């Protein structure tokens, strides 16, 4: 495998493995008649429209996606859901606002809150068998009563391990308290097209982002930002241009538009078939006795408990290699295999063979009660303070100055402004003095 980025990508792309990981096109994307992509890597020339001032074909594409997702307004992103998260948080409230947020959010949300000087009030949940539970309506109701000054509520659904929140009930609570519900739905771009529409906008969320590339045939970085509020539809682009590149990739934008055509024709049936195929894998896992993520779950991904099934991450990694499978994630708690319509039957058969091959051991139920580290200051204050770099062993007890969030899954182990309670890896930036 070569040393340059090009050589590495070339070598990885030539491997004969089943890609149970992002992106959704699974290496089988046939755009532009199979011609070299560089020919179509354009900029805002006449006829190409302009992303942040769309008035032609890009605007038409956005209007079509708004119709597909049932939104009052939709904006394209060539900067992934990260750009969408930044934009919707910019619209959540003025600097200094407090945001009720589920603790298992992506690091991109913490970075955006730090930049925007938004102050998160965390909602932590128990973890069972390695799977963090979603925020419940009762938990949110109590938090809304306790923090009436909060400007908005921020949740992730589906979560990285595939849990779905009760968005309908949570949205109703938010609206009863006069709050907007913002949802990082990056992993759920396929949800509107299933037999039951499980998309957050359909269920009552005010804002939601979708990473199209995660499960749909779109190039990496293709995403959407939706709003259900007609009054906010015109502000999406204003918020996105605060953070987005003025040179968005037209290759990404073109792949988004190609996926729109697919979603208007064969896509929904193909997505439902892929979810049905993944359901057969879940049936096999239940027959084998494996612990999987419980309902309600994203039907496009398989999430297996690792430690609770008596396995080690290294053991599962070896088994995946033997079956020529590259998963989305193998962690100590759980492993994720991300499906998509672009997978061939051979790929699904490999996944089933992997599930049959794992050793049977006594399950080890795991329960970790909800816990939040000590908060000393806001993320913005911690980021702005003088800092010093400490070895991980010496950082315990100090206040974190930056997010520590291995990616994948990109979920923070520690947030700026919190006291570090566990030894992490490498070196950690800490606040120099309080």
In whole angstroms, give the CA distance from residue 253 to residue 244.
14
pLDDT of res. 1: 62
The 3-state DSSP class for residue 123 equals strand
Looking at the DSSP bridge assignments, the partners of residue 211 are 223
Give Dmax over CA atoms of the chain in angstroms.
Answer: 65
CA distances from 219 to 67, 259, 271 (A): 22, 10, 17
Is the confidence at residue 20, as pLDDT, over 70?
Answer: yes
Enumerate residues 6+ apart whose C-beta is below 8 A from 152. Answer: 92, 93, 97, 99, 100, 174, 179, 180, 181, 182
Closest residue by Cα to residue 125 from 165, 89, 95: 165
In whole angstroms, give the CA distance from residue 53 to residue 41.
19
Q: What is the pLDDT of residues 287-339, one digit of tens each?
A: 999 999 999 999 999 999 999 999 999 999 999 999 999 999 999 999 999 99
Enumerate residues 6+ apart whose C-beta is below 8 A from 333. Answer: 127, 130, 131, 305, 306, 307, 308, 366
In whole angstroms, give the CA distance from residue 76 to residue 167.
23
In whole angstroms, give the CA distance from residue 182 to residue 114.
17
pLDDT-based confidence at residue 40 (cuts at 50, 70, 90): confident
pLDDT-based confidence at residue 13 (cuts at 50, 70, 90): confident
CA distances from 333 to 85, 311, 316, 353 (A): 27, 10, 12, 21
pLDDT-based confidence at residue 5 (cuts at 50, 70, 90): low
Is the confidence at residue 34, as pLDDT, over 80?
Answer: no
Buried b (16+ CB within 10 A) or exposed e, 372-395: ebebbbbbbbbbebebeebeeeeb
Is the confidence at residue 2, as pLDDT, over 70?
Answer: no
In whole angstroms, give the CA distance from residue 428 to residue 325.
33
Alpha helices (H) along 48-148: 57-69, 80-90, 107-116, 137-146
Is the confidence at residue 270, as pLDDT, over 80?
Answer: yes
CA distances from 304 to 6, 99, 163 (A): 33, 32, 12
**Strand-strand pairing, 18-20 and 325-327:** parallel
Q: What is the pLDDT of residues 223-261, one digit of tens each?
A: 999 999 999 999 999 999 999 999 999 889 989 999 999
pLDDT of res. 36: 63
Enumerate residues 6+ apart whose C-beta is below 8 A from 355. Answer: 281, 284, 285, 288, 290, 304
Q: Residue by residue, what is the 3-state secondary structure of 236-268?
A: HHHHHCCCCCCCCCHHHHHHHHHHHHHHCCCHH
More confident residue, 37 or 214: 214
Is the confidence at residue 67, as pLDDT, over 80?
Answer: yes
Q: Residue for token digits 């070598």?
A: 11
Give the H/E segment covering residue 302: strand 301-305
**Exposed/middle/buried for residue 412 (C-beta within 10 Å: 0-12, 13-18, 19+):** buried
CA distances from 417 to 82, 114, 248, 404, 429 (A): 22, 10, 33, 12, 11
Is the confidence at residue 353, as pLDDT, over 90?
Answer: yes
φ/ψ (deg, to 5) at 40: -110, 10
Closest residue by Cα to residue 350 from 375, 326, 329, 334: 326
- What is the mean predicted confidence (pLDDT) over 194-205? 97
More confident residue, 76 or 31: 76
CA 83, 89, 91, 94 torsion-angle sign: negative
Do 272 and 111 meet the contact criterion of CB atoms below 8 Å apart?
A: no
Is the confidence at residue 410, as pLDDT, over 90?
Answer: no
Mean pLDDT for the chain overall: 93
Buried b (16+ CB within 10 A) or exposed e, 2-18: eeeeeeeeeeeeeeebb
């Amino acid at each position: 495998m070569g040393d340059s980025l090009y050589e590495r990508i070339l070598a990885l792309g030539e491997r004969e493995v089943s890609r149970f990981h992002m992106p959704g096109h699974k290496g089988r994307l046939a755009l532009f008649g199979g011609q070299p992509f560089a020919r179509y890597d354009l900029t805002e020339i006449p006829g190409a429209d302009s992303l942040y001032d769309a008035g032609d074909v890009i605007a038409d594409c956005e209007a079509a996606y708004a119709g597909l997702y049932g939104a009052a307004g939709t904006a394209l992103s060539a900067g992934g859901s990260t750009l969408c998260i930044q934009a919707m948080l910019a619209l959540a409230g003025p600097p200094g606002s407090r945001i009720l947020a589920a603790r298992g959010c992506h690091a991109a949300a913490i970075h955006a809150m730090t930049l925007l000087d938004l102050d998160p009030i965390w909602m932590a949940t128990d973890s069972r068998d390695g799977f963090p539970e979603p925020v419940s309506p009762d938990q949110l109701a109590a938090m809304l009563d306790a923090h009436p000054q909060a400007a908005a509520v921020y949740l992730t659904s589906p979560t990285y391990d595939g849990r779905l929140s009760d968005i309908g009930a949570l949205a109703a609570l938010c609206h009863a308290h006069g709050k907007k519900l913002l949802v990082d739905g990056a992993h759920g771009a396929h949800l509107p097209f299933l037999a039951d529409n499980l998309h957050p906008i359909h269920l009552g969320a005010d804002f939601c982002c979708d990473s199209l590339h995660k499960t749909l045939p779109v190039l990496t970085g293709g995403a959407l930002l939706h709003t259900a509020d007609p009054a906010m539809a015109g502000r999406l682009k204003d918020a996105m241009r605060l953070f987005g590149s003025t040179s968005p990739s037209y290759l990404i934008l073109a792949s988004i538009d190609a996926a729109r055509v697919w979603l208007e024709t064969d896509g929904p049936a193909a997505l439902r078939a892929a979810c049905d195929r993944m359901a057969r894998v879940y049936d096999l896992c239940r027959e084998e006795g494996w612990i999987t993520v419980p309902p309600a779950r994203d039907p496009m991904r398989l999430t297996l408990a690792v430690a609770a099934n008596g396995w080690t991450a290294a053991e599962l990694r070896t088994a995946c290699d033997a079956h020529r499978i590259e998963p989305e994630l193998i962690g100590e708690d759980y492993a994720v295999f991300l499906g998509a319509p672009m997978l061939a039957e051979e790929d699904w058969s490999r996944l089933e063979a992997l599930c049959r091959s794992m050793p049977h051991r006594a399950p080890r139920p795991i329960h970790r009660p909800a816990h939040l580290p000590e908060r000393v200051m806001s993320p913005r204050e911690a980021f702005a303070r003088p800092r010093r770099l400490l070895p991980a062993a010496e950082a315990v007890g100090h206040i974190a100055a930056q997010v520590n969030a291995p990616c994948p899954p990109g979920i923070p182990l520690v947030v700026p402004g919190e006291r570090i309670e566990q030894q992490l890896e490498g070196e950690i930036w800490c606040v120099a003095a309080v």
